[in-house]
Structure 1
């Protein structure tokens, strides 16, 4: 499993409480615990929780599909996530699954709990919903992402016109459900024409850990092309408004050294950057 690509969830001080909750629900472990950043591991997958402040709220434009082997497993996760949460689609039988439900938990994270066949060793799959100005662009997005990343492919694509479920208000050529991989990491995506009161934002982003400056430059330049936008500290938005963090592994190595004074110099240098430049980090560390 590729743990160089993983989701980052934004919190306003309640990241630790959320980390403990998810580790209880999914029998995971907390692997890093600082006041700002927590990492958890669920089913061998890494998720990052960032206590960033009140600026961004997580929403259902990015949900997490959990593929379950049995109805009891679906029920178990559903019952726990419903504690303080809200059912967005009730747990029931649907044309695409004998037992399925969509829920927003008490921390604002949305989950699709799904009885079905797990096609890879990745049990939790980020699911992107293309709405508003992006509605009808799910196929374009999959082609865009799989062209940029190595070891990538578009898998199964189900369109609304294929006749699964009663979605007569959706355009038949739009994507009802699709699977794609970037560098071996799985995503689902869909188009949706409802006038939701939310869209992609920094509340949920995808972190990509890079090996060197060449990879960093390639991903940064490719993802920001054709209407994307550079932000600070390795953050960017692509042309669909979806947020990425392009983070060289060298940054983590320099920040996690024993010399706290040098590590702080690295942090200060990084805070002034948009795209992360490894040479400038090393110069700060050695200054």
Structure 2
């Protein structure tokens, strides 16, 4: 068996499907690959995401809705870093991902790239957007 490492996102507010749909609408080569829902009598809320996989720009991610509440959630210390091909694409992604979220570093030239921005989206997932 060949090892494979995937990013796995745990949502605590039942937002996994909404987040996955939002992300796949923003990126090329994006699609839902697998989706399993909690059924009646299972340990999660019926109809919520038990396990799902989706791709963004060909990279696979996994997610689920956690029924038990935890004392932790997403943190910017781990983020999804997106290298953008054009300023227009970077601006589009920044606007969409920051809507309802939090700007950590506004779009600007910080000396290490032409244009860069860092946001937490409305689900709490952290994104770094870079134009080399």
Check whether TM > 0.5.
yes
Alpha-carbon separation, structure 2, partners of 1:142 and 1:205: 16
- Cα RMSD after superposing both structures: 1.8
Q: 1:180 corresponds to which residue?
A: 54
Runs of 4+ in 1 over 3 A off after TM superposition: none
Q: 2:86 corresponds to which residue?
A: 212
| Alpha-carbon offset, residue 145 of structure 1 | 0.3
Q: Secondary structure at the match of 1:217?
A: helix
Pairing of 1:2-81 with structure 2 (within 5 A): 69=1
Q: Of 124, 129, 143, which residue of structure 1 is paired with 2:21? A: 143
TM-score scaled to structure 1, two decimals? 0.40
Query: Which structure has the larger Rg?
Result: 1
As a proportion of its length, which structure holds more helix?
A: 1
Q: Of 234, 237, 252, which residue of structure 1 is paired with 2:117? A: 234
Aligned length, in residue pairs = 122
1:124 aligns with 2:5: yes
Please list every run of 5 or more consecutive structure 1 residues that lacks an aligned counterpart in the other structure: 1-68, 74-122, 250-287
| Alpha-carbon offset, residue 152 of structure 1 | 0.6
Q: Secondary structure at the match of 2:46?
A: coil
- After superposition, the C-alpha distances for 1:163-211 in whole angstroms (9 at most, x for unaligned) are 8xxx733111011100001111110000002121100111211100111
Pairing of 1:105-120 with structure 2 (within 5 A): none
Q: Secondary structure at the match of 2:19?
A: helix
Alpha-carbon separation, structure 1, partners of 2:42 and 2:34: 21
